[in-house]
């Protein structure tokens, strides 16, 4: 009699666990394409460029008559605000994989995909910047904006080594 109860319970729990396997709903992969950059190119990618249009603004910081506006996945806009009634878009700091930034004293802390780049802004008035420090792999890889599964061929262990995701573009 006890064996029947145990067998019945075992059969019941087996069916419950089998019901948890959802074969009708396969994994949904992201509708975004990963943009990759080699590690070597990533470490040389922070540059001061000519001004660019602001398309996808993110965070905003004000420091020493300058407004710094992050541009998702691209970098940071430099706006001269010495005349608040007429701010001038002066330059763009290219930082592939940029999602977030912060400023303390004369240092711009920005994510350069998986790395943390510390950019010295002390000579920005003369059109010069330099990467003062880089901390490799300080952040996890960028995830697709839709939150869906990354295709296996793009995952870190499956793609060619030495490449980093710096952006996601809608397919």
User: Domain span at residue 74?
Assistant: 27-170
pLDDT value for 27: 80
User: What does pTM read for this prediction?
Assistant: 0.82
Is 38 among the domain residues?
A: yes
pLDDT value for 10: 54
- CA 82 – CA 61 distance, rounded (Å): 14
For residue 62, list its beta bridge partners. Answer: 67
Is 129 among the domain residues?
A: yes
Is 3 among the domain residues?
A: no
Is 67 among the domain residues?
A: yes
Is 31 among the domain residues?
A: yes
pLDDT value for 162: 94
* Distance between start and end Cα atoms, the chain: 61
- CA 78 – CA 75 distance, rounded (Å): 10
pLDDT value for 61: 96
Q: What is the mean pLDDT of each run of 10 residues along the chain (171 residues)?
A: 60 54 71 96 98 95 96 97 97 97 97 98 95 97 94 90 95 88
Is 59 among the domain residues?
A: yes
Report residue 83 as tokens.
């005349």
Counting the structural domains of the chain, the total is 1
Is 13 among the domain residues?
A: no
């Amino acid at each position: 009699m006890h064996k029947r109860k145990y067998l019945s319970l075992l059969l019941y729990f087996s069916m419950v666990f089998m019901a948890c396997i959802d074969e009708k709903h396969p994994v949904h992969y992201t509708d975004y394409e990963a943009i990759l950059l080699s590690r070597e190119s990533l470490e040389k990618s922070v540059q001061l460029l000519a001004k660019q249009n602001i398309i996808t603004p993110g965070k905003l910081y004000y420091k020493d008559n300058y407004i710094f506006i992050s541009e998702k996945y691209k970098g940071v806009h430099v706006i001269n605000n010495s005349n608040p009634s007429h701010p001038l878009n002066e330059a763009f700091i290219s930082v592939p994989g940029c999602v977030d930034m912060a400023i303390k004293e004369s240092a711009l802390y920005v994510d350069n995909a998986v790395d943390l780049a510390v950019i010295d802004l002390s000579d920005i008035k003369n059109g010069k910047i330099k990467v003062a420090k880089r901390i490799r792999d300080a952040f996890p890889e960028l995830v697709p904006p839709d939150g869906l599964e990354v295709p296996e061929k793009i995952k870190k262990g499956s793609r060619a080594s030495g490449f980093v995701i710096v952006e996601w573009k809608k397919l």
